[in-house]
Chains A and B, each alone.
Chain A
Amino acid sequence: MNWHSFAEFGEMGGYGVYVWGSYAMTAAALAWEALMLVQRQRRACQELRDQPRLRAGQR
């Protein structure tokens, strides 16, 4: 382990802004993609559930 304290870990030898800026944006981008995925699948399933009722109504 290189680090002696959390503060040192956060500072990244003076490059904290660049290192954590990279990691934070990557985490945010991946989280956003996961959220979009879940929402799209949920919407598709909702349309599926609406479908049979539509058909039953037509008969």
Chain B
Amino acid sequence: MTRAMNLAAFVARMPQARWFRFTAPATFYALAGRLLPWCWGAAALFGLAGLVLGLGLAPTDLQQGDAYRVIFIHVPAVWMSLVIYVVIAGWVGLSRVLKTRLSSMMATALAPTGALMTFIALWTGSLWGKPFWGTWWIWDAHLTAELVLLFHYLGLMLLQACSAGARRSDRAVAVLALVGVVNVSIVYFSVSSWNTLNPGSGIDFTRAPSMSGMMLGGTLLMAAAFWAWSIAVALHRVRSIILESELGNEWTAELPEARP
């Protein structure tokens, strides 16, 4: 713990750390507000391009027919469900080390989006699996770990709602977040190696391309759209969280949002 405190003091003293001023909720509120339109725009643009390419232009798959088109939302949703969890764990870790309030606010802002992405991943995976495996669900490593991930997200949201700055539950959030990272790696590695039903990730850059260019392009465009969406949503939600916690402070009363 003392080492962590030394690190925090060291980073705070770094003269070149001008980015550090963005850890102040007031500064970040304004920064996030300026970034938001670009994130929403990117999400809309990539999403539209991905849908046109994926649903309109990409050819029908020889083995799976048109059912494979679920891939354009399933794979990005799975990716985001994993990425967001790791990012949350990173923010939680940062808030433990640096004691910056903004870090734990970002962790709180991301959790509902992670849960939603996990739900979309499970839903689309189930609908994709039905026509080919003959079942909506199977308790294999990949699907089970993804379901456990959903419970991790829900647990995080519950703890974060209870915590709101209380020390002890902050530690509980940290423990849960770190334990969940192990589960995330199970989901990640089980797609390719623990394969029972899942058709493999389909995207393998080391071998000859197993997907057509348009299928890959559509998937990557939709992944970019999901990334932009998640960033936009997190920035939007963290602004609400900042306002809620900074209520009564001078700078919030001076915002244009505060004028009647």
Contact = CB atoms under 8 A, between A and B. Distances in A.
Are A and B part of the same complex?
yes
Given A26-B73, A45-B257, A2 B236 contact: no
Interface in A18-43: 18-19, 21-23, 25-26, 29-30, 33-34, 36-37, 40-41, 43
A37 B240 contact: yes
A48 interface: yes
B56 A51 contact: no
Chain A contact residues, majority secondary structure: helix
Given A13-B65, A26-B120, A21 B243 contact: no
Contacts of B60: 2, 13
A13 B60 CA distance: 9
B260 interface: yes
B56 A1 contact: yes
Interface string A1-23: 11100000100111101110111
Interface of A: 1-3, 9, 12-15, 17-19, 21-23, 25-26, 29-30, 33-34, 36-37, 40-41, 43-45, 47-49, 51-52
Given A12-B69, A18-B131, A41 B239 contact: yes
A2 B252 CA distance: 53
Contacts of B240: 37, 40-41, 43-44
Chain B contact residues, majority secondary structure: helix
Contact of A15 (B119, B131, B253): B131
A2 B57 contact: yes
Interface stretch (B121-129, B153-161, B185-193, B200-208): B121-129
Interface residues of B, number: 42
Contacts of A36: 112
B247 interface: yes
A50 B74 CA distance: 43
Nearest to B121: A26
Contacts of A52: 253, 258
